[in-house]
Structure 1
Amino acid sequence: MHDVLLMDLSITIVPQKNSRCQESGHSQGGEISTYSGPNLPEDIWCHIHSLMPLRDSARSACVSRKFLCSWRCRPNLTFTEETLGLKQNAYRKSDRTKKFTSRVDHILKNHSGVSVKSLKIVIGHHLNVDTCHFNSWLQNSITPGIEEVILFPPTKHKAEYNFPCSLLLDGRGNSIRYLYINDCAFRPPVGFDCLRSLTKLHLDHVRVTGDELECLISRSFGLEQLELRSCMEIICLKIPFWLDRLSSLTVSSCDKLQVIESRAPNLSTVELYIDPVQLLLGESSRVKNLNLGFSREVNCVSYAITKLPSIVPHLETLTLYSGSERVNTPTVANKFLHLKYLDIGLADDDDDETAFRAYDYLSLVSFLDASPVLETFVLSVDQLDMHHDSVSGDVASYLRQIPEHKHDRLKKVQINGFCSAKSMVELTCHILENASALENLTLDSIFCQLEDADDIVRCSGRKTGECFSKSKQMIVEAHKALKAIERYILERVPSTVKLNIRGPCIRCHAIDVKSP
């Protein structure tokens, strides 16, 4: 209904000698400022006004006293260069800063500060906005009843800027449900009790200690999501047991972090992109979904199979990313008894050219063995430099086999970046011979971690009409992979298995390649 009302609304502005806005149809000078539209309740007009872009909303306030009233109570305030109409390269750096500051000052001067529900202030790195202006804007906007606050303070002052926690006192912070703060220090005092309605907290490049963070969230009984990125002062992260609504935890690039201890009883999803830490989740841990990737350390896959079964015993989905796997996946006694979905990403991010050269993809059978109820297995391999020998020779005598390793629940397997490496062909053949319930096998010789890669990476699904660019070496390898599939794998595919082969684009990746 609101979309229709916005279409029916028509506003005509005719310049007047009298600068004061008129709501009536006639002025003394005979000039007309007209407003036509359905006769609607005031709350409907306020809602329509709140849906308008910030600049249009501010301009329309000069047309009608009704809009002026709703403007002063506008619930959503978003201050970015885009919403303030500061076109890129239209002004010099100093002029852009002045215009940004003056426009925000003017808007907040005419806004009552009442009924603000959402505040977003994003100050670009090239703007030299003084922190005194920033604090003044927060003072005027963070009022009782506000629910969402997203703040990107002046980047130039991020090293010394401290978020004024006093702004959250006197009940002004108790209505906030979502808080996202970037590039500053956050130092809540002892006894801080100001975020009781908080459901989502996102701290990005924020200087806060583990004790300060615990103080910050200890009274946020409704907290559901906690996300920490590049918070370099946190050494120990402790989450108390009374945060029983917390279901999602994301921690990335917190380089000094050593311990994560969570007693939250309903934590179910954890994403960790850090170096290995002591992970204490308690015997009653309900974590079912885990994404894990090491930021600097190696052998993430080996760590996962040896350490995680006892730490997260109820895991159902596991996504791993390894930028350097220098050892083959070991065989272990412990099992992932509930794991149904496994996604492993391998890349060659290490400067050591031998990092993946000798990696044995067939060793991943150990992970399949450790997951007796596994249904979906996705392997993505991004080798920037192909350091392997292509499979060749007599298939009957050349390929290794691992007998008596059955994977009776495995239904779907997808290998992105399938290559002609002997061990990868062996892994594929092993799955075909030992996964009796297999229904779908996808082999994609062009690497991509995106979903629906066939539609997004290939030219048929892109607006540019061209495939993502790939090096000549990778295109050659993709053609070799197709030859390996044809020679060693096709004849092993049971009639009950749907085989999907995604090769290089015949138009964009055409190249003359000799058979391996």
Structure 2
Amino acid sequence: MGKSQKEEKYKKIHFAISQLYDILSKILSGLPVNDAIRTSVLSRKWKYVWCSHTNLTLNKGTMRKPYVLTLTPYRWRWLRDYEFITRVDAVLRQHSGMGVQRMEIKFRLHSKHADHIDRWVNFVIASKTKELVINLSGHDKGSFFTELSQGIRIIKEPPYNLPSQLLSPSYGSYLRCLELTTVSLQLPADFKGFLNLKILSLVDMSITDEDVQCMLSKCNLLEFLDISYCRMVTSIRMLHPLDRLKHLVVDNCRNLKEIELNCSPTTLKFSGTMVPLIFASTSRLTNINIVFITYQSALSYIITGFPSTLPRLETLTLHCAERERTIVPEGPFKFTYLRNLRLELVLSGHENTRKTNVLDYAYILEIAPFMETLELSMWAMNCRHRPYREEDGELRIVGPPHQHAHLKSVRISGFFGHKDQVELALHILRSSVVLEKMVITPKPEIDNDMAFLDCSHEKKHYLDGHRVATEFVCKTDHRNVVTVERVVPEPADGEVARKRRRAN
């Protein structure tokens, strides 16, 4: 074999090995970083493969301590901040720093750890990471809602302040996704923007209105924007066109007074008190999810509020706590594009004081003639109405019944068997000529982290709700489309403890 032939053979072998190395690198990048590191003990050839890991997720799960044997079964040991820092430093020190596509730092840290976090940020900049997540609360977003709704006051240390080099043009041009939680951000005077940024999330941030506006004005390719739990933000206002912004999330910014953006989003998720929602155009807006944390009539808002101006709305989810009954206006208003509707109603008041009337929502079938799916989730807060009985009087009929030709699927939850709930279920059943299924369940199914509201006194009404639905709704179901779910009340905490003691 000649010299040229040997060289060609070695080139092919080297190419095959490099291809194998690339395949291994891709496989390991699909594993959590701690599992990828463990593969280094398999052989000498595998020792450094993980060092090109492209997805660095650094949190209490991936940086955890090993199992320890205690009096109870095996449990994870608590990970302290200095231990987390030491482990992250070890990972980044061994990593090649090349090809990092995404890096996530999620742990409860603050300003006193600035020197360490600055070192990690420098790694991010040097590696030209395209997707950066810095969450120094250590928790998921839902925990902020729980703290807010339950009035939990957590004393916080001063937040970590992002260094200016992270905002420099030399690195900013690489960023595609930036998610920041529980940090402080002050834009430098010469901020040039993130020219290729498509996803921006600011949660529990210390940031001013002016810096929010400045940042948005220099992110021309932005497609997704999330501003949540930012107490300093009072106005989200941007007259500079955001032509590519499709998805907007504004969640519980307690001091927010207005939203005015020069954009035309397709989806909107908003939680908080009612504020003006002004966009350059709403012609593309097809999906909205609104949660009001103050009292507001859902039906009134649908008819006279923001949704009524949306010509192409297809999916609407609305959560309201209702205190007053709505006077339904007469008029030609129609949701001609609405296909999916989910309403979450928190009904307040005792048996003789509740002013709301669930039967009013029969009007939905008139104003949404092409609706295909309807979910009505109710939670009767302090509503100790007794379940309906025949001696309570005849059931009302809204008539003549509107013949709805498109509604196929209905789900009613939180059905305790109150008279107005029965009347609405019967109206939907009579009016929906193509209905394929109606599911009724006594258990409340309120979303948006409201599960803690499920009080024990409501569970006593699960059997009543099932009985009333079976007796008064199923008996008029001549098409066999109604299903009533049986819910077994869960035992109270004290009862669970007693059962455990007996078992032991």
Query: Which range, TM-score by smaller chain?
Result: 0.7 to 0.9
Q: Secondary structure at the match of 2:134?
A: strand
Aligned pair 1:230/2:238, yes or no? no
Letter of the aligned partner of 1:75 in structure 2?
A: T
Contact preservation (8 Å) 2:335, 2:367 = yes
Name 2:278's counterpart in structure 1: 280
Choose the corresponding residue for 1:420, options 408, 417, 421. 417
Taking the aligned partners of 1:140 and 1:470, their CA distance within structure 2 comes to: 46
Letter of the aligned partner of 1:501 in structure 2?
A: V
How many residues are paired up?
450
Taking the aligned partners of 1:41 and 1:470, their CA distance within structure 2 comes to: 54
Contact preservation (8 Å) 1:269, 1:288 = yes
Deviations 1:168-215 (A, max 9, x none): 314212222221111112222345234222221111101222331232
Taking the aligned partners of 1:224 and 1:356, their CA distance within structure 2 comes to: 47
Taking the aligned partners of 2:294 and 2:90, their CA distance within structure 1 comes to: 47
Aligned pair 1:504/2:487, yes or no? yes
Name 2:476's counterpart in structure 1: 492
Contact preservation (8 Å) 1:318, 1:341 = yes
Alignment of 1:46-445 (within 5 A): 46-58=25-37, 61=40, 67=46, 70-86=49-65, 96-124=80-108, 130-143=113-126, 145-153=128-136, 159-190=158-189, 192-239=191-238, 242-265=241-264, 267-328=265-326, 330-333=328-331, 334-348=333-347, 357-393=354-390, 398-409=394-405, 410-445=407-442
Name 1:3's counterpart in structure 2: none
Taking the aligned partners of 1:469 and 1:276, their CA distance within structure 2 comes to: 22
- Displacement of 1:148 in angstroms is 1.1
Is the alpha carbon distance of 1:332 and 1:206 closer, same or farther for their aligned partners in structure 2, counting shifts above 3 Å?
farther
Choose the corresponding residue for 2:20, options 33, 37, 41. 41
- Displacement of 1:290 in angstroms is 0.9
- Displacement of 1:123 in angstroms is 1.9
Contact preservation (8 Å) 1:357, 1:388 = no
Deviations 1:377-428 (A, max 9, x none): 2111122544324322269x61112213514232222211222211111112
Taking the aligned partners of 1:229 and 1:91, their CA distance within structure 2 comes to: 31
- The structure in which a higher percent of residues are helix is 2
- Displacement of 1:321 in angstroms is 0.9
Q: Secondary structure at the match of 1:481?
A: helix
- Displacement of 1:230 in angstroms is 0.3
Contact preservation (8 Å) 1:292, 1:320 = yes
- Displacement of 1:101 in angstroms is 2.2
- Displacement of 1:164 in angstroms is 1.5
Name 2:496's counterpart in structure 1: none
Taking the aligned partners of 2:189 and 2:380, their CA distance within structure 1 comes to: 50
> What TM-score, normalized by structure 2, do the two folds share?
0.78
Further displaced range: 287-296 or 95-104? 95-104
Q: Secondary structure at the match of 1:206?
A: coil
Letter of the aligned partner of 1:415 in structure 2?
A: I
- Displacement of 1:59 in angstroms is 5.4
Deviations 1:68-92 (A, max 9, x none): 5544443222222332233599999
Q: Secondary structure at the match of 1:47?
A: helix
Q: Secondary structure at the match of 2:160?
A: coil
Contact preservation (8 Å) 1:191, 1:215 = no
> What TM-score, normalized by structure 1, do the two folds share?
0.77
Q: Structure 2 stretches of 5 or more lacking a match?
A: 1-15, 69-74, 139-154, 493-504
Contact preservation (8 Å) 2:320, 2:346 = yes
Q: Structure 1 stretches of 5 or more lacking a match?
A: 1-36, 451-456, 458-467, 510-516
- Displacement of 1:309 in angstroms is 4.3
Taking the aligned partners of 1:253 and 1:470, their CA distance within structure 2 comes to: 22
Is the alpha carbon distance of 1:478 and 1:231 closer, same or farther for their aligned partners in structure 2, counting shifts above 3 Å?
same
Letter of the aligned partner of 2:34 in structure 1?
A: R
Is the alpha carbon distance of 1:328 and 1:257 closer, same or farther for their aligned partners in structure 2, counting shifts above 3 Å?
same
Name 2:499's counterpart in structure 1: none
Name 1:480's counterpart in structure 2: 464
Is the alpha carbon distance of 1:205 and 1:158 closer, same or farther for their aligned partners in structure 2, counting shifts above 3 Å?
farther
- Displacement of 1:362 in angstroms is 0.6
Q: Percent identity?
A: 25
Letter of the aligned partner of 1:135 in structure 2?
A: D
Contact preservation (8 Å) 1:329, 1:366 = no
Contact preservation (8 Å) 2:462, 2:489 = no
Is the alpha carbon distance of 1:312 and 1:124 closer, same or farther for their aligned partners in structure 2, counting shifts above 3 Å?
same
Deviations 1:433-471 (A, max 9, x none): 222332322211223357xxxxxx9xxxxxxxxxx9986
Taking the aligned partners of 1:335 and 1:399, their CA distance within structure 2 comes to: 28
Further displaced range: 304-313 or 152-161? 152-161
Q: Secondary structure at the match of 2:178?
A: strand
Taking the aligned partners of 1:363 and 1:300, their CA distance within structure 2 comes to: 11
Name 1:33's counterpart in structure 2: none
Is the alpha carbon distance of 1:241 and 1:364 closer, same or farther for their aligned partners in structure 2, counting shifts above 3 Å?
farther
